[in-house]
A and B are shown apart, each in its own frame.
Chain A
C-alpha cells in the first residue's frame, strides 16, 4: 500500500476580532531557482548559507533606472555607491554598464582605482578623509565632495602643498520634508552655511568648484522630497552664476531611493509602496527643468542610487537547523544564517520563502539565526508553512548593505556566488576559513 504524505499535527488558536491569516490555506510563494539554477544544486555546490547574486537582475535594474532618467533629462550619470556592495565583481558590472564610482574612504577609493576606474570618474564623499586620502584624490583628479569646514581648510592646505588644483563640490543638507534631516553631513542650505562655504571655496585659488551634492536620506518613499532638494540645489546653482558669472558642471542628488523591501512596522508590503524609478525621475527632472536654470546650462545630473539598484539581485540561501515550540506555544525555526550576515534584518521584515512545495497549513512563526544571542531574530513573526530540519529556505532582496556590513562572528562568512548572464556560477568571494584568521593574528604566547 502506498503511504500517505505526512504533515505534522498542529493546533492553532483562533484570535477573535483580530484579522489573521492564521490557519487559513494561503498560497505560499516558493523560490525554487534563481536564473534557472535550482536552489538545491546551488547549495550542494557552494554550501550553506550562501549569498547568490544575479548578474541578469543587476543589469536589468540598472537599465530600468537609466531609461527612467535618460528619457526625461539630457545629461544623466550614475555613480555606483561602493558602500552598498563593494565586492569587485559587483562593482565591475556597474562600471561595465557605465557607472562612475561613489566612494567614502581611502579604502573604497583604492578599490575603485584597482578596478580600473579613472580617478576623474570618482566622487569622493563622506566625513572621513585624511590628508593622505585627499592627496590621493587630488593626484587622481577626483571630485572631492567637501563635508565640513575643517575638511575644507585641510583640503586648501593639502592642495597648496601639492601645488595642484583640487576639483570640489560641497555636500549640502537641507529640509526636503524628510525627518530627521541628516544635518550632520555637509553644510546647511536654509541657514546660509552652504552659501558661505561656496563663497569661501570660490575665493580659494587652488580649489575649483564644479558641483553641488546632497543625499537627503535613505529609503525615501516620496519623490516630492527629491523635487524639493533639486529645486534648492538649482537655486544655489543659479545664485553662483549670478554672483560669479560661472556655471557649475553638475548637481548630485545622492542615493536614497527605496527598494521593494518592507520596512519593519510598515502596514503595506514594500512591493506595493515603493515608488518606481519613473516616479523618482519624474519628480527630479521636472524640478530641474522647471527651475531658473537656462536649458542650455542644465547641469549634469548625478545619482548615487544604492539599495534600489542592487537589493533585488541578491539572495541568501539558508538551511533549517531546528524547529522549536516557544513557551507561549508559538512556532519557531532556527536557520543557519544569523543577523551578523543580514544587517538589513534590523530595519526590514525580509522576505523568507521555502524552496519547495510545502503543506498548505501555516502558522505564525519566529525565525531565529544560529547565534548564541537573543537579538538574533531574522523574522519576529511570519505566517509560515511547516518546515522540516534540513529544508532549504531563500531570503530575497538582500543585495544591498549585507555583504558590506556583515560581521564575522562565531563562524566563517560564507561564499558569495554570482550567476552570470549565461547561467554560469562564479565564487566572487570565498568562504573564510581558519587560515583567514590565523593570517591576521599574532600570538606572543606561541
Chain B
C-alpha cells in the first residue's frame, strides 16, 4: 500500500490531498495507522503492534483495518489497484 505523493498529513490528524484539493480529518487512532502505512509497514506488522498495545481482538482489528483502507482508497489517499484484476 502506497500513500500517494500529493498527500500531506499533519500531526493533529489533518490530511490534505493537493491533487484533488480535498481535506480530511483523522481520528487519533486513524492517524496512528496512517503513519504506520506511510512507514510502509505491512498489515501483519501493524496488527502485531496494535494487538500489543490495545485492548482489541485480532478479527475486529482486521475488519476495521480493511474498512479503513477502503476509505483511504475511496478518497484517493492510497493507490487503488484495478479491482477487476482480482489480484
Which residues from chain A sit less than 8 Å from chain B, CB to CB? 3-14, 16, 22-23, 323, 325, 328-329, 359, 361, 388
CB of B6 closer than 8 Å to a CB of A: no
Assembled-state Cα–Cα distance A116/B34 (Å): 67
Across the interface, do B55 and A9 meet the contact criterion of CB distance under 8 Å? no
Complex partner residue of B77 from A6, A11, A325, A328, CB under 8 angstroms: A11
Task: Give the interface residue-count category, chain B.
Answer: 20 to 34
Across the interface, do A8 and B64 meet the contact criterion of CB distance under 8 Å? yes
Give the Cβ gap from A365 to chain B, nearest Cβ, in Å.
13
A-B contact pairs, 14 of them (CB 8 A): A3-B54, A6-B50, A8-B64, A8-B68, A9-B29, A10-B30, A11-B25, A11-B75, A14-B23, A23-B25, A23-B27, A323-B67, A328-B74, A329-B71
Give the Cβ gap from A19 to chain B, nearest Cβ, in Å.
15
With both beta carbons as reference points, the residue of chain A lying nearest to B74 in the complex is identified as A329
Task: Specify which of A16, A329, A359 lies most central, judged by the most chain B CB atoms within 10 Å of its CB.
Answer: A329
Across the interface, do A9 and B25 meet the contact criterion of CB distance under 8 Å? no
Question: Given A11-B15, A11-B26, A14-B24, does the pair A6, B68 have CB atoms closer than 8 Å?
Answer: no
Across the interface, do B26 and A10 meet the contact criterion of CB distance under 8 Å? yes
Question: Given A10-B71, A23-B25, A329-B71, does the pair A4, B30 have CB atoms closer than 8 Å?
Answer: no
Contacting residues, chain B, for A12 (C-beta < 8 A): 24-25
Complex partner residue of A11 from B50, B54, B55, B68, CB under 8 angstroms: B68
Contacting residues, chain A, for B25 (C-beta < 8 A): 11-12, 14, 22-23
With both beta carbons as reference points, the residue of chain B lying nearest to A329 in the complex is identified as B74
Across the interface, do B68 and A9 meet the contact criterion of CB distance under 8 Å? yes
Count of CB-CB pairs between chains A and B under 8 Å: 75
Contacting residues, chain A, for B28 (C-beta < 8 A): 7
With both beta carbons as reference points, the residue of chain A lying nearest to B69 in the complex is identified as A9
Q: Which 10 A-B pairs have the closest CB atoms?
A: A9-B30, A23-B25, A3-B55, A6-B56, A8-B64, A361-B27, A6-B54, A9-B68, A329-B74, A9-B33
Complex partner residue of B53 from A3, A23, A325, CB under 8 angstroms: A3
Assembled-state Cα–Cα distance A10/B13 (Å): 11
Across the interface, do B70 and A9 meet the contact criterion of CB distance under 8 Å? no
Contacting residues, chain B, for A329 (C-beta < 8 A): 70-71, 74-75
Assembled-state Cα–Cα distance A376/B69 (Å): 28
Assembled-state Cα–Cα distance A3/B75 (Å): 31
Q: What is the predominant secondary structure among interface residues of chain B facing chain A?
A: helix
Which residues from chain B sit less than 8 Å from chain A, CB to CB? 15, 22-30, 32-34, 50, 53-56, 60-61, 64-65, 67-68, 70-72, 74-75, 77
Across the interface, do A5 and B55 meet the contact criterion of CB distance under 8 Å? yes
Assembled-state Cα–Cα distance A158/B74 (Å): 70
Across the interface, do A9 and B27 meet the contact criterion of CB distance under 8 Å? yes
Across the interface, do B55 and A10 meet the contact criterion of CB distance under 8 Å? no
Assembled-state Cα–Cα distance A442/B83 (Å): 52
Question: Given A3-B53, A6-B54, A13-B75, does the pair A325, B33 have CB atoms closer than 8 Å?
Answer: no
Contacting residues, chain A, for B67 (C-beta < 8 A): 8, 323, 325
Assembled-state Cα–Cα distance A12/B65 (Å): 15
Give the Cβ gap from A18 to chain B, nearest Cβ, in Å.
13
With both beta carbons as reference points, the residue of chain A lying nearest to B16 in the complex is identified as A14
Across the interface, do A11 and B71 meet the contact criterion of CB distance under 8 Å? yes
Assembled-state Cα–Cα distance A359/B28 (Å): 11
Across the interface, do A9 and B32 meet the contact criterion of CB distance under 8 Å? yes
Contacting residues, chain A, for B33 (C-beta < 8 A): 9
Give the Cβ gap from B62 to chain A, nearest Cβ, in Å.
11
With both beta carbons as reference points, the residue of chain A lying nearest to B25 in the complex is identified as A23
Contacting residues, chain B, for A388 (C-beta < 8 A): 60
Across the interface, do A325 and B65 meet the contact criterion of CB distance under 8 Å? no
Contacting residues, chain A, for B53 (C-beta < 8 A): 3-4
Contacting residues, chain A, for B32 (C-beta < 8 A): 9
Across the interface, do B23 and A7 meet the contact criterion of CB distance under 8 Å? no
With both beta carbons as reference points, the residue of chain A lying nearest to B28 in the complex is identified as A7
Give the Cβ gap from B87 to chain A, nearest Cβ, in Å.
20
Contacting residues, chain A, for B22 (C-beta < 8 A): 13-14
With both beta carbons as reference points, the residue of chain B lying nearest to A386 in the complex is identified as B27
Question: Given A14-B24, A325-B71, A329-B71, does the pair A9, B64 have CB atoms closer than 8 Å?
Answer: yes
With both beta carbons as reference points, the residue of chain B lying nearest to A360 in the complex is identified as B27
Across the interface, do A11 and B70 meet the contact criterion of CB distance under 8 Å? no
Assembled-state Cα–Cα distance A14/B20 (Å): 13
Assembled-state Cα–Cα distance A13/B67 (Å): 15
